[in-house]
Structure 1
């Protein structure tokens, strides 16, 4: 496994898989019953169906966003009583919940990077999508032992859209039931670091950035939950010239006439399944609820299908591959670009491009250019996805630790998709001139390099009973197990650090040693 994404980025991407098998698709649209008698699994399912019936099919990105963060019962924003999304009793379990060693090693990584960069002052620690706060709690507990590092920390920022999760984080990290309102969100004193505040924001754009700050950014299982757009390369597809889409920065015109491509990208969009078609499926034929929604191939172009597949040479290489499927996450690219700008400053503004979607919140690194005389900071991304290919057919649902259809029970099912690490790397290099990328490397390599075995052995020697010893042993091995039931191979680590002219310094965990 190569640990430098610059090398990976310059290699040719392999083709995406052809026509999907995991998606239930219908060619060029369907008809469905809008009868008020239909029973929906959740209020959000009914609301989505009514909206689609009124205005037409929606993108996968819009569907994911509503299912996960809708105020009308989104998975992360709904109020839960006696049920938690995380942990053994919830729907899924994450690495910090499996073993405390995971968060401890992430804390050590931050400290090692702070040392390597010359012990910077005015440090911000930022986590996007902090879950229940387990990772940040272990990180802060670990770094609290390094007093000079702690004294450099100005504030801890948590980017969280869910009020329910924000309150859980506040209880864990600040010993308070509900944080106080602040100018940019909410705040409470950090229990691990006296004199330092934890500040919650709903969007990373509210986190202050300036040329003198040193941001250390954590994104653990964050990008997999960001919405994706899905496109299929339809053979012998003809897009009429009248399909031109007007935007505030100019029209997007499809290529027509003799120069028109033989294949065209069409967006896969979400529609409700029809009541009549559902009734033909015997209830005893499946133990899962029948999907209430399905993917259909859009007959006409969408702004996304005319624009997004043209944004990278990796996608363009698939233009002559009939029925290829690609997944693109504009929000992921916006977030990772913001990380890069905070660390290395902005690239000079380029010519304006059409907006990705009028309903999609984007984070522009060019709206407020940032110049950093001295680059500093780092970002650590830990997530799952392929190392060098474009994800396809990866949208999935999970409930009670079991896979299920992403189109059933909206709001009660967690949705995710594989992270396109090469797309993230490409966006980082386009966003800032003064950063370098390392990884992705397998989680087993990263944690092994950070000393997970040695830390586990030390904890095992101090275990007070057999139950604790068994839990520690099972936990750390699961994190690095490269088999089908482990997390060591599927999960990857990637780092963004400042670029230094004349030398490449690999961070610890990515083939480098502790320096400074």
Structure 2
């Protein structure tokens, strides 16, 4: 579990008020230079390269910062090639629900079984898909459970794992495939599942590579995946009477200036820039407590601030509230749209003119492929993550290292960075993407686990170890792990984590609820 670390609400306002400079790219009161980036002692190589890039092109978005910190090919938190490094478990930085108790993964396997039954027990074409599978523990518990239900197990065509980290991919292969070798395939890798020699496990870097087919039924699991996708952060501000409309580029191009801004609130994107070197602070300041990077509030708009907050009335409604802060994750919206399309097919869009491309001095039209249509929606998705059930996330960016909360702006590449998930935003995007799906939840994790029969499963496990040599100790471990998963205290996993389902929309069955969301087993 990742503990919470929230940025101070006033941090950006204080930084903006203290900086006397008006230039769009000026930060840290204009005292930063390329020589400073080179001479300063940085905590990690990634911190130095980020500072040098910002010195050249200007402050970057939170999304760009997160993306580099988590998935930079050589230095990212999840993608760096570091021998013996493990982000999960007691020796890592955080513990996830599947690592706490086998019951968690078993219940997800049962949920897939219940959905498969409710959809007619298809005899083939089932795809098991997990995005962000960690060490593979969740999928292993699911497969171990599903193999007890032979008709479902035999209907699985392939297992797809969406994983960008080579080291985690290898950990997953060892756990799920045993000694079976891994081989390169187009766009990914492939091996054989240890539970069935007839079932292939296929790895892709992106869920968009999972095959779309009308005769396939994808059952997709996303556990603690969306919280790690990059976010953009925006604050509502009132321009000063003398301010001109300036658009700041975060890609290194020159800003553009136009007419006076209307005196109504504007969305401004909070950007990331290096802090001043510690020796520039007073002697009473603790150098160790000063993050290497900081959020700044620029005096101009960015392209993202002009576009992303206009996508939803939920954001527009907050614009009149001065200093309101919202977090938007385009990557999350794109991913959930792909998930919905795999299950229900794409939402038909108005015809647009074909794209044109130059060929030998001539311009020819390239027809756009039609959207994926699925006459009979099938499959399902289960999203389990943390975030508010009905509001827009705000001030939720957090860092964690060695099971302790820390600033997300220190030691880039060594700190896990995450943010709250916007469940309402995900639901809206899924329904907009596909006419063939409906969304249920989110409900609290503790409520969902109990509804899935988790307490009864724990009782069975406890009875199974009661006669063993370490019966009392094993019983306490099993029951303690269960209590941790369903704890509804202020920081309890059973309360903070939410569960949301995407299932096929079938005419005439609009009232059906999935198991765990108020429904019963059907089929």
Normalising by structure 1, report the TM-score. 0.88
**Alignment match of 1:444 (pick from 446, 450, 461):** 446
Tell me what 1:226 maps to: 229
**Alignment match of 1:208 (pick from 194, 203, 211):** 211
Find the residue that maps to 1:462 and give its secondary structure: helix
> What is the rounded CA distance, in whole Å, between the counterparts of 1:213 and 1:164 in structure 2?
30
5+ unaligned residues in a row in structure 1: which ranges? 1-16, 248-252, 353-365
> What is the rounded CA distance, in whole Å, between the counterparts of 2:110 and 2:258 in structure 1?
52
Tell me what 2:188 maps to: 185
Change (3 A) 1:226 1:242: closer
Change (3 A) 1:310 1:351: farther
Tell me what 1:64 maps to: 66
Tell me what 1:167 maps to: 170
Deviation by residue 1:200-244 (Cα, 9 ceiling, x = unmatched): 001111111112211100000000000000001012357745649
Tell me what 2:86 maps to: 84
Find the residue that maps to 1:298 and give its secondary structure: coil
- Give the deviation of 1:484 after TM superposition: 3.0
- Give the deviation of 1:468 after TM superposition: 1.8
Tell me what 1:362 maps to: none
- Give the deviation of 1:301 after TM superposition: 1.4
> What is the rounded CA distance, in whole Å, between the counterparts of 1:438 and 1:263 in structure 2?
35
**Alignment match of 2:148 (pick from 126, 145, 160):** 145
Change (3 A) 1:255 1:212: farther
Tell me what 1:508 maps to: 515
Tell me what 1:26 maps to: 15
> What is the rounded CA distance, in whole Å, between the counterparts of 2:259 and 2:440 in structure 1?
41
Tell me what 2:363 maps to: none
- Answering whether residue 506 of structure 2 is matched by residue 487 of structure 1, we say no
Change (3 A) 1:78 1:23: farther
> What is the rounded CA distance, in whole Å, between the counterparts of 2:248 and 2:84 in structure 1?
51
Change (3 A) 1:237 1:128: farther
In the TM superposition, 1:370-449 aligns within 5 A as: 370-449=372-451
Deviation by residue 1:27-67 (Cα, 9 ceiling, x = unmatched): 16323243222100000000100000011110000000000
Change (3 A) 1:261 1:91: same
- Give the deviation of 1:276 after TM superposition: 5.5
Find the residue that maps to 2:457 and give its secondary structure: helix
Change (3 A) 1:490 1:475: same
In the TM superposition, 1:235-254 aligns within 5 A as: 235-237=238-240, 240=244, 243=247
> What is the rounded CA distance, in whole Å, between the counterparts of 2:169 and 2:93 in structure 1?
19
5+ unaligned residues in a row in structure 2: which ranges? 1-5, 20-26, 353-367
Deviates more, 1:476-485 or 1:318-327: 476-485
Tell me what 1:199 maps to: 202
Tell me what 2:114 maps to: 112
Which gives a bigger RCO, structure 1 or 2 (Cα 8 Å, sep 6+)? 1
Normalising by structure 2, report the TM-score. 0.87
Find the residue that maps to 1:89 and give its secondary structure: coil
> Considering only aligned residues, what root-mean-square deviation do their CA atoms show, in Å?
2.6
Find the residue that maps to 1:172 and give its secondary structure: helix
Change (3 A) 1:409 1:368: farther
Deviates more, 1:223-232 or 1:170-179: 170-179
- Answering whether residue 307 of structure 2 is matched by residue 307 of structure 1, we say yes
Find the residue that maps to 1:323 and give its secondary structure: coil
> What is the rounded CA distance, in whole Å, between the counterparts of 1:484 and 1:124 in structure 2?
37
Find the residue that maps to 2:233 and give its secondary structure: strand
Tell me what 2:331 maps to: 331
Change (3 A) 1:421 1:276: same
The number of residue pairs the alignment matches comes to: 480
> What is the rounded CA distance, in whole Å, between the counterparts of 1:84 and 1:513 in structure 2?
39
Deviates more, 1:416-425 or 1:201-210: 201-210
Tell me what 2:320 maps to: 320
- Give the deviation of 1:180 after TM superposition: 1.1
- Give the deviation of 1:400 after TM superposition: 0.5
Tell me what 1:355 maps to: none
> What is the rounded CA distance, in whole Å, between the counterparts of 2:267 and 2:163 in structure 1?
34
Deviation by residue 1:426-469 (Cα, 9 ceiling, x = unmatched): 10111011211000000011100001100001101111323222
- Answering whether residue 137 of structure 2 is matched by residue 97 of structure 1, we say no
> What is the rounded CA distance, in whole Å, between the counterparts of 1:510 and 1:225 in structure 2?
25
> What is the rounded CA distance, in whole Å, between the counterparts of 1:205 and 1:324 in structure 2?
34
